[in-house]
């Protein structure tokens, strides 16, 4: 319970500071994520394939189980966060890239699964990008993947 309180405090404090410092960054964030995906995968394939392809560092068949898993997670996340699959996929790649900048290597599939575990149902006024930003902030504070997901789930589902 103390961990949840600490995570809650860190979450609120850093979100407020981050938002006040980076007011105009949404536009470049979206542009960066789309170009990141298109540079790494020259295929014009569905988002689920592109994410599985990036996770596999290239060669992967279209009927591979990770493509099916990404498809399922994108469908679940798009109904929870009221966003389309491309938006969620782009934001997830941006999350992964942001984590890599600070030396945290997390697979796309783990990020999707974690973000899918945060909410117990559909939430109004909460975007996938906002939850992703909160997750990144916690990970930058040396919180593990599991602790970040559990902490966000407990804090945001109150």
pLDDT digits 0-9 by tens, 6-54: 455 454 445 444 433 443 444 333 433 444 454 444 358 899 999 999 9
The pTM of this model reads 0.74
pLDDT digits 0-9 by tens, 105-150: 999 999 999 999 998 776 667 889 999 999 999 999 999 999 999 9
CB 67 within 8 Å of CB 50 = no
**What total of structural domains would you count in the chain?**
1
> Closest Cα partner for 121 from 95, 153, 147, 150?
153
Task: Return d(Cα 75, Cα 148) in angstroms, integer.
Answer: 23
Query: Which residue range(s) make up the domain with 131?
Result: 2-156
> Closest Cα partner for 140 from 54, 13, 14, 9?
14
- How would you write the chain as a 3-class SS string? CHHHHHHHHHHHHHHHHHHHHCCCCHHHHHHHHHHHHHHHCCCCCCHHHHHHHHHCCCCCCCCCHHHHHHHHHHHHHHHHHCCCHHHHHHHHHHHHHHHHHCCCCCCHHHHHHHHHHHCCCCCCCCCHHHHHHHHHHHHHCCCCHHHHHHHHHHHHCC
Torsion of CA 75, 63, 105, 91, to 10 degrees: -30
Alpha carbon of 35 to those of 12, 23, 85, 102: distances in Å? 30, 21, 16, 21
Express as a percent the part of the chain with pLDDT over 70: 70
What confidence score (pLDDT) does residue 58 get?
A: 81
CB 50 within 8 Å of CB 33 = no
């Amino acid at each position: 319970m103390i961990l949840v309180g600490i995570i809650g405090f860190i979450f609120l404090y850093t979100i407020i500071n981050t938002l006040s410092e980076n007011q105009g960054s949404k536009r470049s964030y979206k542009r960066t994520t789309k170009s990141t995906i298109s540079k790494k995968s020259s295929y014009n394939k569905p988002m689920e394939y592109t994410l599985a392809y990036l996770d596999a560092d290239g060669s992967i068949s279209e009927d591979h189980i990770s493509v099916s898993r990404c498809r399922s997670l994108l469908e679940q996340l798009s109904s929870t966060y009221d966003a389309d699959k491309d938006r969620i996929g782009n934001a997830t790649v941006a999350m992964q890239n942001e984590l890599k900048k600070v030396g945290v290597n997390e697979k796309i599939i783990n990020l999707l699964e974690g973000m899918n575990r945060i909410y117990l149902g559909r939430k109004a006024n909460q975007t996938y990008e906002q939850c992703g930003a909160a997750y990144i902030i916690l990970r930058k504070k040396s919180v593990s993947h599991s602790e970040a997901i559990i902490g966000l789930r407990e804090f945001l589902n109150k």
